[in-house]
Amino acid sequence: MNRPTKISALQFYLMLFLSRATVGVTLNAQAVGGENFLENIFSSLLHCAALFVFSLPLFSLHRDYPERSLPAVAELRLGGIGAAVSAVYALYFLISNTFALSLLVVLLFNTMDPTASRFSVALVLLFIAAYGAVKGIETVSRAAVCVFALFLAGMTAICIALLPNVETRYAEPVFQNGLEQFWRGCLVFAARSSSLAEFAVLMPFTLRNSKGKFALWNGSAALLFGILLFFTVSCLGEYAYLQIFPVYTLSSVAEIAGIQRMDALFIGLCLMALVIRLAVGFFAISESCARFVRKKESRAVLLGGAALLTLMASLWITADYERFHACFRTEYLLLFTALTGAVLPVLVWCADRLRRGRKIG
């Protein structure tokens, strides 16, 4: 088995940060089922804790099989069933990429220019992402470092610009109407996060991974969401609950040094982060199917087909707003995310421990 190209833990977690941030900035009241976004800060914190708990089987497998992804370990320990595990991960990343692209397409054409060509924008984004995935994870990780620096600088500028607009009187007491929105927020954060699945497939490519670095990345993403939700509530008040994309609206009211409406900056940051998420997803698809596509040419064909399917599905889904909501209900996404991020890692870990126990016995 060829040794995979290795990237640093910093590069790896920056990719995961951007991947998670892409859909985190698109939360709205309809998704979380309530109007007090401050409660969803606690939802994000609980989601962080859940990610850390369910990462433990993955760290254990990575320690025992540093050169194998979870699908590869499943094929080693479960035989034919392991091939089905690989197929499940490939399908999940295809769905995840379609969801992320569709979400940003809806954001772009509901807030910026409804008359622009969805086909052209989606095609360009997918071409860049697929090309990066074909070039390899090292290329994607280097791009992620640059995009993260721009993303951090841009979001910092937007937050600084929003400081004069903060009105603490808009804040409402949390949990005064029960815990329904809190739990709903937990489900939304979990359903939209592909981080554990990405970690499961891409862990062999990381140098010197550790639980501490995982916790730092995990906490940083929660901090970003907490800051954005705080500014959304304190700057927009009840107006935020009427918006399809309140964080975008937040950026449109930001003003700094005479520069008004920083929404174009926000869209640019989202699109760059989206390219990284799509590239990570495409590369994960190729790794999930690694036993079938060993040559670079075959991988290029596979990813070209995956990009084409993503394009067609995204255009069909976003052609109708009701169709978008029907296809990407939180409950549906949560089933796939839980399966690939929690259930399968635990099952593979248990199977590995049983096999090892029999050998010892």
pLDDT digits (tens, 9 = 90+) for 40-71: 999 999 999 999 999 999 999 988 888 889 99
Tracing tokens 């697929």 back to the chain, one arrives at: 130
Q: Using an 8 Å Cβ cutoff, are 175 and 182 in contact?
A: yes
What size, in residues, is the chain? 361
| 232 has pLDDT over 60 | yes
Residue 232 maps to a domain: yes
H or E element at residue 356:
helix 344-360
Report helix angle 137-162 to 263-288, nearest 10: 150
Provide the pLDDT confidence category of residue 265 given band limits of 50, 70 and 90. confident
| CATH number for 271 | 1.10.4160.10
Residue 221 maps to a domain: yes
Tracing tokens 């005064």 back to the chain, one arrives at: 176
Residue 225 maps to a domain: yes
Find the mean pLDDT for residues 300-327: 90
Dihedral class, residue 28 (left if φ above 0, else alpha if ψ from -120 to 50, else beta): beta
Query: 255: which 2 tokens?
Result: 């003003």
H or E element at residue 309:
helix 296-318
Find the mean pLDDT for residues 82-108: 91
Residue 2 maps to a domain: no
Dist. CA 107–CA 212, nearest whole Å: 34
- Residue with the bigger pLDDT between 91 and 238: it is 91
**Phi–psi pair at 117, nearest 5 degrees:** -80, 115
Dist. CA 132–CA 295, nearest whole Å: 16
Tracing tokens 């096999």 back to the chain, one arrives at: 355
Q: Using an 8 Å Cβ cutoff, are 162 and 228 in contact?
A: no
SS3 assignment, position 259: strand
Find the mean pLDDT for residues 292-311: 84
H or E element at residue 229:
helix 211-236
Provide the pLDDT confidence category of residue 339 given band limits of 50, 70 and 90. very high
pLDDT recorded at residue 252: 84
* pTM score, whole prediction: 0.92
pLDDT recorded at residue 358: 61
- Residue with the bigger pLDDT between 304 and 239: it is 304
| 133 has pLDDT over 90 | yes
Residue 237 CB contacts under 8 Å (≥ 6 apart), including other chains: 167, 170
Residue 62 maps to a domain: yes
pLDDT recorded at residue 307: 94
Q: Which amino acid is at 32?
A: V
**Phi–psi pair at 226, nearest 5 degrees:** -65, -45
Model pLDDT for residues 153-212, shown as the tens digit of each residue: 999 988 888 888 888 888 888 888 888 889 998 999 999 989 999 999 998 898 777 788
Dist. CA 222–CA 225, nearest whole Å: 5
Dist. CA 282–CA 104, nearest whole Å: 17
Q: H helices of 9-66, where?
A: 9-24, 29-32, 38-64
Residue 1 maps to a domain: no
Dist. CA 193–CA 94, nearest whole Å: 14
Provide the pLDDT confidence category of residue 361 given band limits of 50, 70 and 90. very low
Residue 294 CB contacts under 8 Å (≥ 6 apart), including other chains: none
Largest CA distance in the chain: 73
Dist. CA 97–CA 194, nearest whole Å: 10
Residue 337 maps to a domain: yes
Please count the structural domains in the chain: 1
| 360 has pLDDT over 60 | no
Q: H helices of 37-166, where?
A: 38-64, 70-78, 80-111, 118-135, 137-162
Find the mean pLDDT for residues 125-130: 94
Residue 2 CB contacts under 8 Å (≥ 6 apart), including other chains: none
Provide the pLDDT confidence category of residue 4 given band limits of 50, 70 and 90. low
Residues of the chain with pLDDT > 90, as a percent, come to 43
Q: Using an 8 Å Cβ cutoff, are 190 and 49 in contact?
A: no
**Phi–psi pair at 260, nearest 5 degrees:** -105, 160
pLDDT recorded at residue 148: 94
Provide the pLDDT confidence category of residue 78 given band limits of 50, 70 and 90. confident
Domain that holds residue 225: 7-360
The C-alpha torsion from 14 through 15 and 16 to 20, rounded to 10°, is 100
Dist. CA 302–CA 306, nearest whole Å: 6
